[in-house]
Structure 1
């Protein structure tokens, strides 16, 4: 029986383990992580996500497009068929300010995403605010990550995969000894997120770096999933607002490369609240879902996204043929999860059939 250790219990690791087991029920899969769903730690990225589906791929980046495509269809399916997942369909509106359009020198094509012919109900819409120059909308999804991560855990358990908490390891070779049955793993999938490239024995010529994000979980509700791009002098900030199926809204955020400060930026919190009231005024309207008259913050989340130069690393290690890498998701872990998982299934199937055990 092929023994596989998945190192990392974030959305990529959990999804990959499910897809691997479904592809070959004979695989013995052990998912190990220093942090597991339910934990809150700034180095454990998955619980801090919004999350939604809005591919970051450019029109030329076909590789990332192919990683992102499967999750859109899967999340729409889950929203329609399985309430346990914590996923729901939401009208998704992207706004671009006058500043954003001026910065693009009026090239409106830059604001038409590659997925306009892929997602449901995509259309250009009339801007609703005087400072908005362009807007589009489509049928999107919002994922309540605490619910969804537990859903992934439950699926793994039902399939027979084992999930175990481990101390931090320093060398990727240690992961081979972490199978649930005590045998040495035939394959290790390195889905370790922020620590994936820093482990001894992992060589990566590309630059890996954390990018700080800050979000607010608030009690208030809004109608649509919205994003607003283009705030003068604040190119590392964007407003995004994600209404959760159980109520409440996630408000973000920022993309601060090189900022390692784990503390809340209170000025950013204040800006996010002001922007939320401006672009989704129903958030403080008691007539809409009995909202409070002010934005009531439940929790401020500060986390660090695992970015990698050139994006996802999904490949067999050049020197260690038992090691398969799956990291570098940046801010696209949820929307890339199924595409990456399915690519890993192809890789492992190919390795199992073409190579002897090591």
Structure 2
């Protein structure tokens, strides 16, 4: 195919989809457009605020999302091993479940074994004697941490090297307007809608599933954590958890919360205090100078509040039913990075199917 394609959205989904499309079809002429692009900071531009790591949210029954996430795990491990420019590195991924969390599930430890235990590398159940006080169950596997500023720049550079164009535009009012944004000056043959949070606020886009936000709050600190760590199960705080992601360039991202339909963009100072207390409890090396010269207290560089782009029923990756030139790829929620390659490849397959369709003979 030699098609002109505009990808609307310059976050991780749009940038990754552009790469995968160009790699599958070098003749495609691809322009990525967005109100915001890497380097910009805005509450409605989700990608810069992510952690980010790989830890699939798929249930045992959701085999489709499992297959999507498998692609990302393999790809990010590959990047960590072969291309330092990506800002991806391999770290042990440890999950702790508190006594409260286990008891709330009837002390059924099998409830906490993820579907990917037979897929990821080096998965193990942590011996109970090696668990910290208050933790009843824990697992470990070879994980990855993605340094978001570095990785987004890497995606931009990869797109430019491969021949794709990236440009900023004003906020889109109607999806039909997007076809005119192709770098050639001609009308695009296809548009891929990868706009995340704003996907259903654009005129002309119909979706009977609701797009909604989930607020997150994270701290970027100078201190270095040893492992990629999550802790679930804080009494009275069912929509909060602890997670920390040490970055390859130094420092750590620490969160967090899962507040549905909370659009407050200001820091919750009480939540910040809870995050700090939990982090020091479960990762005491953060304030131990013997570990990578850490300060004796958490030194916060920045508090970030972001909004994850969720959609009832999961991500939408499909051809539009009204416009034969439009394909959607949005609604990944908190799994935007880990699912980015899987969703991108699925989007490419949708486009291939569309372009291969021929009109029936009369």
| 2:167 corresponds to 1:164 | yes
| Per-residue CA distance 1:72-124 (angstroms, 9 max, x = gap) | 00000010110000000000100000110011111111110000000000000
Equivalent in the alignment of 1:256: 259
Equivalent in the alignment of 2:67: 66
Equivalent in the alignment of 1:80: 81
Deviation at residue 207 of structure 1 after TM alignment = 1.1
Equivalent in the alignment of 1:238: 241
State the TM-score, normalizing by the size of structure 2: 0.97
| Per-residue CA distance 1:231-268 (angstroms, 9 max, x = gap) | 11111101000000111000001110121111000000
Output aligned runs, 1:174-253, within 5 Å: 174-253=177-256
Question: Aligned partners of 2:34 and 2:309: how far apart in 1?
Answer: 16
Deviates more, 1:345-354 or 1:335-344: 345-354
| Per-residue CA distance 1:287-346 (angstroms, 9 max, x = gap) | 000000000000000011100001110000111111100000100000000000111111
Equivalent in the alignment of 1:296: 299
Unaligned runs of 5+ in 2: none
Question: Aligned partners of 1:65 and 1:23: how far apart in 2?
Answer: 22
**What SS is found at the alignment partner of 1:196?**
helix
State the TM-score, normalizing by the size of structure 1: 0.98
Equivalent in the alignment of 2:328: 325
Number of residue pairs matched by the alignment? 356
Question: Aligned partners of 2:306 and 2:348: how far apart in 1?
Answer: 29
Deviation at residue 355 of structure 1 after TM alignment = 4.6
Deviation at residue 65 of structure 1 after TM alignment = 0.8
| Per-residue CA distance 1:149-207 (angstroms, 9 max, x = gap) | 00000000001100000000111111111100011111100000100111111010111
Question: Aligned partners of 2:42 and 2:233: how far apart in 1?
Answer: 30
Question: Aligned partners of 1:78 and 1:70: how far apart in 2?
Answer: 12
Deviation at residue 126 of structure 1 after TM alignment = 2.4
Equivalent in the alignment of 1:275: 278
4+ residue runs over 6 A deviation: none
